[in-house]
A = this chain, B = another copy of it.
Amino acid sequence: MVSEDIERLISLLAKLPGLGPRSARRATLALIKRKETLLIPLSKAMATAGEAIRTCSVCGNMDTRDPCKLCNDPRRDDKLICVVEDVADLWALERTASFRGRYHVLGGTLSALDGVGPEDLNIPKLITRASDEKITEVILATNATVDGQTTAHYIADRLAGANVTISGLAHGVPVGGELDYLDDGTLSAALKARRPV
């Protein structure tokens, strides 16, 4: 139907999350219609990223530098490490602009079902980092799922010997959330952790 080059572009775009075969066709059409302003700049941005992006040897973040921008930033607090499952979680926390310490990206969660053990994650490096005496607190910001919490418990156990405070994210009512739509677990956690106004 169309030339092989266009077919190839469609089938690669269809592999992106959120794009199926149909929307990949639409995206390809948009790209070839806006060759100068979109297709060529995007191809160059991808080539640059493809050459430059690496995993940070300190924290496991992905960036074009190693150590990454966050590990390099002298204005960040060296005393705090926030442990997250994935780069996406790090980005989410950074968007809030409310944490100014360092990060540690695990690259997943422990999972007996999927055969993911501690040696498959970025945990040994975390233990080494946490044993540095300038670290005072490790915040376990894994997801509030079973796997995420299992991983957090495991890390807390491993860090029990180190001289650091170990904390986790607070559970409670989401800001802007309606009680009526909340699950029972969250609601009772919010009630238990109630605070004086």
Interface residues of A (CB under 8 A from B): 1-3, 5-6, 8-9, 12-13, 15-19, 23, 25-27, 29-33, 35, 38-50, 52-53, 62-65, 68-69, 87-88, 91, 94-95
CB pair B48–A5 under 8 Å, yes or no, is yes
Interface residues of A: mostly helix, strand, loop or mixed?
Answer: helix
CB pair B27–A17 under 8 Å, yes or no, is yes
Considering only CB atoms, which chain B residue lies closest to A30 in the complex? B17
Q: A19-B19, A95-B1 are in contact. Are A46 and B31 (CB under 8 A)?
A: yes
Contacts of A53 in B (CB 8 A): 5-6, 32, 35, 39
Nearest first, the 3 closest Cβ-Cβ pairs linking A and B are A43-B46, A18-B23, A1-B94
Contacts of A44 in B (CB 8 A): 43, 47
Which of A2, A15, A19, A27 counts the most B-chain CB atoms under 10 A from its CB? A2
Contacts of A3 in B (CB 8 A): 52, 63-65, 68-69
